[in-house]
Amino acid sequence: MTPETENQISNLKLDPNKPLIIFDADEVLVHFAEPFSYFLERHKRKLKLTGYRLDNAIRDGTTDEVVHKDESRDLVWKFINEETISQPASKGSSKSLKTLNRKAQIIILSNVPFSAYEDRVKNLRDNDMDFPLISNEGQKGPAVKEILKNHKSISFFVDDNPYQIESVYNDNNKTICVHFSVCDLVKPYMPKAVGASIEPSSWEDLVQQIDKHIES
**In the structure, what pLDDT confidence band is assigned to residue 114 with cuts at 50, 70 and 90?**
very high
* Residues 200, 109 share a domain: yes
pLDDT tens-place string over residues 167-202: 999 999 899 999 999 999 999 899 999 999 999 999
* Residues 99, 72 share a domain: no
pLDDT tens-place string over residues 45-78: 999 998 888 878 999 999 999 999 999 999 999 9
* Residues 146, 70 share a domain: no
* Residues 115, 18 share a domain: yes
* Residues 101, 57 share a domain: no
Q: Which domain, by its residues, includes 102?
A: 3-31+88-215
* Residues 146, 211 share a domain: yes
* Residues 12, 46 share a domain: no
Q: How far apart are CA 21 and CA 207, in angstroms?
A: 11
* Residues 168, 98 share a domain: yes
Structural domain count, the chain: 2
* Residues 117, 61 share a domain: no
Average pLDDT, the chain: 95
Q: How many CB atoms lie within 10 A of CB 207?
A: 17
